[in-house]
Amino acid sequence: MLYRLPDDGDTKQRAVCTACNLVHYENPLNVVGTVPHLGNRIMLCKRNIEPRKGKWTLPAGFMELGESTAEGAARETTEESGAHFKMGSLFTVMSVPRVGQVHLYYLAELQNEQFDPGFETQEVRLFSENEVPWDDLAFRTIQETLKSYFADKKSGKFEVHAFNID
């Protein structure tokens, strides 16, 4: 592979195979997850894997080929928490150009307080807004999603929030 302008008129340097001239596109990875909620509380998972092992997060992970963003978010939620939930609407879309990722979170209404966390999770708990361990959240995308959730909860109207994380 050699980085150069492709022969098709593209104006961006791309990875191009020196043998067959095929362009290898490098695109961001999609991280998909949910904001599981029950009443006035949200569910967080304590990470049992790096990065940020021991920190709290919303259930999320990399989207797999062959699944929609909502299917991936539901799969990750089940794998990490073992929660029973009803998928809701898309809630946040965050571009994280520094690490080449796009994060998408869906609302998810928990059906009960029964959890069965998988190996990636040390603990699953429900938190009210004032109980959230804000200083122990794993990623800024989690913090921004939770801030948006609690603000929308107070206003009584949930919207889709889209922003960049620098």
Q: What's the rounded mean pLDDT across residues 12-27?
A: 86
Residue 12: pLDDT band with limits 50, 70, 90: confident
Which has more confidence, 57 or 16? 57
pLDDT given at position 1 = 78
pLDDT given at position 97 = 97
Distance CA 37, CA 15 (A): 43
What are the tens digits of pLDDT across the range 78-99? 999 999 999 999 999 999 999 9
Q: Is residue 8 part of a domain?
A: no
Beta strand spans in 66-154 (E): 85-96, 101-110, 121-127
How many distinct structural domains can be found in the chain? 1
Distance CA 118, CA 81 (A): 6
Q: Is residue 129 part of a domain?
A: yes
Cβ(93)–Cβ(160) under 8 Å?
Answer: yes
Q: Is residue 126 part of a domain?
A: yes
Instruction: Show the domain range for 157.
Output: 28-164
pLDDT given at position 22 = 86
1-25 exposure pattern, b = at least 16 Cβ within 10 A, e = fewer: eeeeebeeeeeeebebeeeeeeeee
Q: Is residue 58 part of a domain?
A: yes
Assessment of whether the complete model's pTM goes beyond 0.85 = yes
Q: Is residue 5 part of a domain?
A: no
Distance CA 51, CA 27 (A): 22
Q: Look at residue 71 and tell me whether its pLDDT is greater than 80.
A: yes
Q: Is residue 38 part of a domain?
A: yes
Please report, for the domain that includes residue 91, its CATH number: 3.90.79.10
Distance CA 13, CA 131 (A): 48
Helix (H) or strand (E) holding 143: helix 140-155
Residue 24: pLDDT band with limits 50, 70, 90: confident
Q: Is residue 16 part of a domain?
A: no
As a whole-number percent, the residues of the chain with pLDDT over 90 amount to 84
As a whole-number percent, the residues of the chain with pLDDT over 70 amount to 100
* Parallel, antiparallel or unpaired: strands 41-47 and 2-4: unpaired
Which has more confidence, 26 or 67? 67
